[in-house]
Structure formats: C-alpha cells, structure tokens
Amino acid sequence: MTPGTFTSTLLHLLILTCCVTSGFGQTPVAVRGADGGVASLQCDHDARPGEIRAIKWTKGREIIYFMALDGVVTPPGPDYAGRVTIIDQINLRIERLTLDDIGEYTCTVTVGNSEGLAIVDLDVLVLPSRPVLTAYLNGAAVNLGTTSLPLQAELVLECTSTGGKPPAELAWYRDDVRVDSSLYTYNSTADPDTNIGDAVSRLTRLVSLDDHLAKYECESSGPIPPLETQRSVGVLIRLSIYDTTLPPPTTRRPTTEAIPNVIGPQEAPESRLGTPSIIGIIVGVIAAVALIAAIIVILVQNRKRQNKNHTYTVNPDKPAQDGELGREPDGYRNATFDHAAPPTGTAPPPYTDDLRRSHLWGSEDELSINQFCQPDTSSILQFPADFYQDQLPKIPHPEETDI
C-alpha cells in the first residue's frame, strides 16, 4: 500500500466513525415519571435497520440491559428485575418507579465497528398530599362545618399540602369559582437534595354579607398528569353571619324560618330523644291507662251498689180471699224482695190493685211497673209469661169508676 492509498483509507475510516457517532444524542434528554408510575426512555439513533449489532443500557456502572451480537440477553440486576422491558428492540421501559430510579441513563448502540451514545436524565416526581384546610377566627381555631361568624370578623383560611416533589401549587375556590391569586399568600419549602417539600397558602378576609353560606375549598396541583390536581374533600366552611351588636341567634324554633336579628334562614338543631325520655313517655302512658281503669272500676261498683238498694214491697193491708186479686201467697206477706237474692222455690207475688193504682195514679209506693217488669235475669224476679195476662183485668179509667 502506497503512502497515498494508506492516507486515503485512514481518512475514510475517520469520516465514517465521525458520521456514525454524530448521529446519536449527546445532550441528555429529560424524562419525568410519577412515583409508582411508568417511564419510557428513548434511545435516539440514526442507524439503519439491520446495522445494530448490540444494545446496552446502563445507569452509572450498573448494567440494566444488554443484548450481545449473538442475540443473548443479560438479565438485569436485582434493583430492576421484573421492572424493565425493551420496546421496539431498543427503548427501555421502567415500571413501578421509585425515588431510587432518579439519575442519568446511557444507551450504547454498536453499529458495525462503531458505538453511539444516547443519554436520558430521569426524574421521579411525587404527588403531594391532599390539601388540609384549617379555619381561624380572630386568631383562634374554629371547627370546620357550619359556623356562625359575626360581621367584620377576621377569618383566616389556611391550606396545607405536604410531601410533594416539587411542592404543590395551591389555589382557592369560592363556590366553585377560583379566587384571584392576589387575595391569598403562598409559601413552600423543599429539601435541597430531593426537592421534596411542603406548601402553605392563607386566605384572609373580613366576613361580609356576601359570605353568607359561602363554600370555600382549597386545591393542590402538581406536574403529573392525569393526577395533577386534588381538591380538598369534605373540608367545607359555610358561613352563617350575625351582627354582634344584636342578640346572638337562637335555635329554639324547630323550623327553618328566619329568626329575628339573623340574616337568612337558620336551621334548628335536630331533636333527639334519649333513652330516659323514652322511658318517661312509656311510664306516663301506663299511669294514664291505670287511672282510666280505676275510674271505670269505681263507676261499675257504684252502679252495682245502687241496684242492690232497690226493693219491692207488697201491700199487706188489703185483705183478700184465696184465689182473688190482691191475695198474697204464703211466704210473701210483709216481704221485701232484693234484686240480687230472690227467694227460691216460691211463686212471684200477684199484681194487686194497690200496686196497680200506685203506678197509674201516683201513690206513695215507689215501685213502677216498668221497673218491676224489666226482663233482667241478673237483678230482678222472674215471672211466668202469662202472669200479667191472667191476673190483670182491664181497668176502667178512674173517672168512670166508683170508689
């Protein structure tokens, strides 16, 4: 080989090597992934299909993936086992990302007798915690929820989100409308090595009529889609305004009507009956039932006592022959008959003229024919069905009778 030929061949090889090497990315490409997520690392090259003879992915001195010229693949180390795969025969996919995966990755491609490099800078971001909202009234913490606030009181709403990389961005919403950023403050702190930190935002305002039943929420956001925003859940503040120059609101009315000196409807607290109240109600009902039963028993006993005092007296002064009207059978002369204990085994007394006249003309006898003839088997004497028909002849009117 002549000196001229050697020089020409050497220049050709240098040009070929320069062209192959210059086809790979030398500037690191930034890739970001979420903690616990997936990241795809691209190995940019300009080699034609079939020219690649070997591929190697490394992080520092640690080999993550290597495919030799004969197609044999070297398995990854324990830190990446089961988490890495090769996409399109050259790109690296890492799953279940952790903060330990942060760093610079190098892709080395062998084309012919030359090698090219591609550098990827991987950063793992951490989603911040869900924001926590706290309320302060005139410097003192107040319970979240429905809170009665006086007009012109200084209300400070504080929103905190922790553990974000980078620290979360915070924003405020009033009734689902974003509050202008000039109305609240924002501060964040982060570790200089890991860039993991916390964020705090404060919204300060004087309570006005416009805040009546207003709803405030805080929202944290990060650079990780699709979970880039999180809004405070279940942490709402509803303002019920009253004037401190007037008496405080009352909740005695069990309705939602407007209460004097209170702006807007006020809901009365829910009434709840405890066990002692229920027991008291039951005892009261039982006592009322017992009282009613006692009154009924007393009335029944008085009724029976009055019935026992009624007696029936036959007239012993009128003489009569046996079998004639007015004749009293043996055993009934000068007798008094009790409703409850009538004589047994004897016939009923006859219906005499005096007894009849006492009913028709109003003598001093107290017995009435209606009372005497009531068919009540429990309290009066029982008479044969034909007793009155046989012994009561038709009596003429007193004006037509000679006495």
Q: What is the H or E stretch that residue 302 is in?
A: helix 275-308
Q: What is the DSSP string of 267-301?
A: PPPPP---HHHHHHHHHHHHHHHHHHHHHHHHHHH
**Helix and strand tally (H, E) in the chain?**
5, 22
Q: What is the H or E stretch that residue 154 is in?
A: strand 154-164
Give me the tens of pLDDT residue by residue for the chain, a chain 403 residues long.
444 433 333 333 333 333 334 445 568 899 999 899 999 999 887 777 667 888 899 998 899 988 876 777 888 888 898 899 988 888 999 999 999 999 999 999 888 778 888 999 999 999 888 898 888 888 888 876 656 777 888 889 999 999 999 999 999 998 889 999 999 999 999 999 889 999 999 999 888 888 777 888 898 888 776 556 666 654 455 556 555 555 554 544 444 444 444 444 444 445 455 566 788 889 889 999 999 999 999 998 888 877 666 554 545 555 545 444 444 444 444 444 444 455 555 555 554 555 444 444 444 444 444 444 445 444 444 555 555 555 555 555 555 544 4
Residue carrying the six token digits 């009665």? 148
- Residue 237 contacts residue 134 (beta carbons within 8 Å): no
Domain ranges in the chain are: 24-125, 132-242, 293-403
Which residue, among 360, 341, 340, 350, has the nearest Cα to 383 in the 3D structure?
Answer: 350
CA distance 217 to 214: 10
- CATH code for the domain defined by 24-125: 2.60.40.10
CATH number belonging to the domain at 132-242, selected among 2.60.40.10, 2.60.40.1480, 3.90.1640.10, 3.90.226.30: 2.60.40.10
Fold agreement between 24-125 and 132-242: yes
- Residue 29 contacts residue 44 (beta carbons within 8 Å): yes
